[in-house]
Structure 1
Amino acid sequence: MKKNFRGMTLAALLLSASASAQADNNQYVPANDSPQAFVGDVAPDAPVHVGSHYRSPVAPISNYAPVTVGDLQPAGFIEGGLRGSRGGCDSCDSPGCDGIGCDSMCGGKSGGLGSLLNLCGKDGWMRAEGMLMFHAERQAPPLVTSAAPGVFPVLPAATIEFGDDLDGGLSGGVRTDIGRYLTDSFGVGGRFLWVSENGDDYSASGDQTDPNARSLGRPYYFVPRFNPGTAQEDSVIISQQNLFSGNVQAEYATDFFMADGYARMTFCHNKASRLEFIAGYTYAELEDMISITSFRQDEDTGRNPNLAATEFSSLYDTENRFNGGQLGFESTVSRGRWTARALTKVHLGNMEQTVRKIGTTTDYLLNNVVSTQNSSILINDEQGTETQDVFTFIPEMDFTIGYRFRDHVSFTVGYTFLYFDNVAMAGDQIDRNRDTGNIGANVTPVSYDIVEGSHWVQGISLGASVDY
């Protein structure tokens, strides 16, 4: 009698389990020769089990087709059912969750500690990366030349010491990105990218009493005002034996940062991939500067007894401020603990270009009289500050691979490329065509045209990503 009772009990449990499994999968089971009916269809007079979450009556067992043990299927989780009752856990390898189900970290009537700390859902992100960035070589004309002792430092025979291709090497930087999904398919975020100053400096000196000291010069292209057909290379001597002792200091630097706010909308996604459309606002600044100062002491007092020393100073400073929108796509693919992200976007908008040219020539006389003129070797009447607005675009590409070593934390490594179209760079603003008579003279400043160029930045990123 006990065996029969146990057998009937087991059969009832198997029938109930199978019906629940089939109902969750929206499959139907034919009942004898009756029309096809979905499991879960109810009979109006069936009893309600005590403690049931559903108040609708359950169909009599006689209405279901016979089910064997082999027909059983595991019941799936219902969105908002088990997950909601267990504190929001969507992954059983979350901190405090085991491999079978959410434990007390995320479970319990109150949602558990994981729910309190928001560790059981993943609808937000925080990313922090260190950047190792390279700038494109900045172009500038030859600004400092040298030659053998006693030789006039004029091109093309002289050696270019500063100018031409200016390569600042590697620069560090930081990029952060934080945001949150407001719905399953819509989120907002903000990002900040800063790259430290990229540049270099140069200094040299020459003493005419040293027979091994190389000659130093500031080259320019001499274009006579009244006979331009005789134009040729020339140079202002900074140091040369029996003429001048002097020194020169020069530097260049480029700074860049970008900040943007954006919204993202999901086009399609599944468990392993996601494609999103991104749109928003971008602000960026790209600054570039070249500064050069040279000082020379006249050693031939018999040739010019009144002029003791001369200092030439030139500054080329450019600022590019971008305000505009951004459009792009980001795709994410996951395989196990690995995740690959590809971001392609273009920033479109207005670039405000500002260029400053400042030149001075200071003469120090033997009687302590100082005379200052508002021009220099390569800066004459075209000086002052000029500003213009142009439409431009900034394409951007980011590729990142992340390894998830904790449920919410990943290490990332990536590559970034940014291209700037229609920007004012300092080297492009230098005009080396000069008339010797205009060097070091007082002039009336006149307006000038801003020369536009392009620039790019690229490098790798190393960082961490936290989903919360």
Structure 2
Amino acid sequence: MNQFWQLSSALALITLFAPHVQAQNFGPRSWKSYVPGDGRAVSAASKSAVDEAPLAEEDLPPIVAGNARARTIQTSAVKPGAMPRAQHELTSYYDDNDNNTIPPAPADFTGKQDDGSTQYYDPAASQPFDPGIATMGDIGCATACDACQLNDGCGDVCCCCPTRNFARIEYLMWWGRGRALPPLVTTSFDGTDMAEAGVLGLFSTTILYGNNDIGTDWRSGGRLTLGHQLDAEGAWTAVGRFYGLGDSTDSYHAESATGSPILARPFFNALLLQQDALLVAFPGVSTDGVIDIQSRSSMLGADAFVRHAWAGSDCWQVDLLGGYQFSRLDDSLEIRNSELVLLDPQAIFPPNTTISMRDYFRTKNEFHGGVLGLAADFYRGPWTLSLLGKMAIGNQRQSVTIEGGTLIAPEVGPAVQSPNGLLARSTNIGQYSRDVFTFVPEANFTLAYQQNNWTFTMGYSFLYWNDVAWAGDQIDTRVNLSNPVIGDQVPAFAFRDTDFWLQGISFGVEFNF
């Protein structure tokens, strides 16, 4: 009986002081804390337990994270449109004996006491578990970025405050498909018969310029990208880009003071139905012959779209995007030649007559359309691999301008002007335009390294247009020299187009704010 009363007394004492024994926590104890939207801390065995806890959030002390160990608090300066790479959680471990933190307990967290109460606490009342790991700091983000290195499951990164805007500037090194030119300048061996000099298809004729593609060299350019997060959750982001390339130029110059070497401009004679050539320099006939050719192409574009977070996890995210795209591709080709006629075998021009001629072709391709696409980001520590693929579909306005002219200045008497050049004549001179359905796909790959609120990027881009009009393609090399024109109305104008692509690498810097 005495043993029974002794056992009963011991059980009663244990029952009476059990809460205090638990509070002393002689062994490792841990609570997992979840931070609601208002910054208060709730602790329990699981988030569901917190959700089921009867305590109201206003009854909980505000979290002061001065000495708590942050595990998945904001792990990077989240770009606008990028979902946070981890939920806002806080994990701390405390020894209630001396108020010092101790190593983590096993994964079986205990958040409710045996009496059913839910534990909550003020993390600032404890020392940090690992002094080598910086604390969360001021949640108000007084500084641009903490110097901490935390692991969110995707590698270590600097933990920064959330950002809602970013600006990126990039240097572009791009190159594209060349622009075709017909044969424009020829020469022949000295001693070649005048009727055969410079004529295409003959053994004695060499093409000096043309009959190839120009504009294949790389070009420098720039791209500016601006972004703004539209909502607090980061699910919607507006992005605008503007990009342009330096002009692609190509030039050719040839001169012959004495007529040797022979210089000529080839064409197809529509009256004779055979290849022919306009002599610019030929011994004893034309001297001081000069041919100058200038080609210039420019490119610029812009787009504006909205990105919406579609799927993702801590380490990756895929967005849908839609918006508007603009691009403009311009091209021009100018051919000038002059000569001093010593002797005209056809007796059309008196001796010592100076003849200057000009042909000018210019095209514009202006695209407006809607764009749809996908964007994906893959995170690993401070590194991010970004993929962008989109398709723009819309209308492209193509415009062509053709101008010509000839100035004939005899040694004696007034000069005479004509609107006809050689390849630009009354039959094709003018301004023309049309609208064509065009699609413009684009692909981008970007590797980024983040350091605090700065990000450094290197990438590759590819763009394609299925329908582009270039200046050289608008040249009709068939020429009817009769004036007024008798017979075929050539050269004639007809829209001629081709596809075009651009690709290249980029180097940039981005600031998140």
Sort the TM-score into its range (normalised by shorter chain). 0.7 to 0.9
Structure 1 residues 283 and 24: CA distance shift in structure 2, 3 A: farther
Q: Alpha-carbon deviations, 1:294-325, whole Å to 9, x = none?
A: 00111227965356111110000011111111
Percent identical pairs in the alignment equals: 24
| Aligned position for 2:470 | 425
Cα deviation, residue 149, structure 1: 2.9
Q: Does 1:177 align with 2:225?
A: yes
| Aligned position for 1:139 | 180
| Aligned position for 1:59 | none
What are the within-5 Å matches in structure 2 for residues 316-355 of structure 1?
A: 316-355=361-400
For residues 55 and 468 of structure 2, the distance between their equivalents in structure 1, rounded to whole angstroms, comes to 76
For residues 74 and 127 of structure 1, the distance between their equivalents in structure 2, rounded to whole angstroms, comes to 47
Q: Alpha-carbon deviations, 1:51-107, whole Å to 9, x = none?
A: 7469xxxxxxxxxxxxx96466499xxxxxxxxx99xxxxxxxxxxx843223xx44
| Aligned position for 2:310 | 267
Matched residue pairs, number?
403
For residues 282 and 58 of structure 2, the distance between their equivalents in structure 1, rounded to whole angstroms, comes to 107
Structure 1 residues 223 and 99: CA distance shift in structure 2, 3 A: farther
Q: Which runs of 5+ in 2 are unaligned?
A: 1-13, 34-42, 64-103, 112-122, 125-131, 146-158
For residues 317 and 496 of structure 2, the distance between their equivalents in structure 1, rounded to whole angstroms, comes to 43
Q: Select the residue among 18, 22, 26 that pairs with 1:11.
A: 22
For residues 242 and 446 of structure 1, the distance between their equivalents in structure 2, rounded to whole angstroms, comes to 30
Structure 1 residues 250 and 24: CA distance shift in structure 2, 3 A: farther
Q: Does 1:280 align with 2:323?
A: yes
Whether the aligned pair in 1 keeps the contact of 2:391 and 2:440 (CA below 8 Å) is yes
Whether the aligned pair in 1 keeps the contact of 2:458 and 2:506 (CA below 8 Å) is yes
Q: Alpha-carbon deviations, 1:143-199, whole Å to 9, x = none?
A: 111223343122124222222223221211000111122122111011001111012
What are the within-5 Å matches in structure 2 for residues 368-447 of structure 1?
A: 368-380=413-425, 381-404=427-450, 406-438=451-483
Q: Does 1:166 align with 2:213?
A: yes
| Aligned position for 1:247 | 290
| Secondary structure in structure 1 of the residue aligned to 2:144 | helix
Amino acid at match of 2:277: S
| Aligned position for 2:169 | 128
For residues 39 and 256 of structure 1, the distance between their equivalents in structure 2, rounded to whole angstroms, comes to 57
| Secondary structure in structure 2 of the residue aligned to 1:112 | coil
Q: Alpha-carbon deviations, 1:328-366, whole Å to 9, x = none?
A: 111111222221111111111111111000011111112
For residues 300 and 330 of structure 1, the distance between their equivalents in structure 2, rounded to whole angstroms, comes to 69
| Aligned position for 1:102 | 136
Cα deviation, residue 10, structure 1: 7.0
Structure 1 residues 52 and 288: CA distance shift in structure 2, 3 A: closer
Amino acid at match of 2:507: L
Q: Does 1:257 align with 2:257?
A: no
Q: Alpha-carbon deviations, 1:244-289, whole Å to 9, x = none?
A: 1110100111101001111111111222111111111112111011
Q: Select the residue among 248, 256, 281 that pairs with 1:206.
A: 256
| Secondary structure in structure 1 of the residue aligned to 2:423 | coil
Whether the aligned pair in 1 keeps the contact of 2:175 and 2:502 (CA below 8 Å) is yes
For residues 334 and 462 of structure 2, the distance between their equivalents in structure 1, rounded to whole angstroms, comes to 28
For residues 453 and 16 of structure 1, the distance between their equivalents in structure 2, rounded to whole angstroms, comes to 74
Q: Alpha-carbon deviations, 1:434-457, whole Å to 9, x = none?
A: 12335999xx99984322222221
Cα deviation, residue 411, structure 1: 1.8
Amino acid at match of 1:23: A
Cα deviation, residue 374, structure 1: 0.9
Q: Select the residue among 201, 208, 216 that pairs with 2:263.
A: 216
Cα deviation, residue 120, structure 1: 1.4
Structure 1 residues 181 and 52: CA distance shift in structure 2, 3 A: closer
For residues 99 and 446 of structure 1, the distance between their equivalents in structure 2, rounded to whole angstroms, comes to 78
Normalising by structure 2, we get a TM-score of 0.70
For residues 432 and 236 of structure 1, the distance between their equivalents in structure 2, rounded to whole angstroms, comes to 12
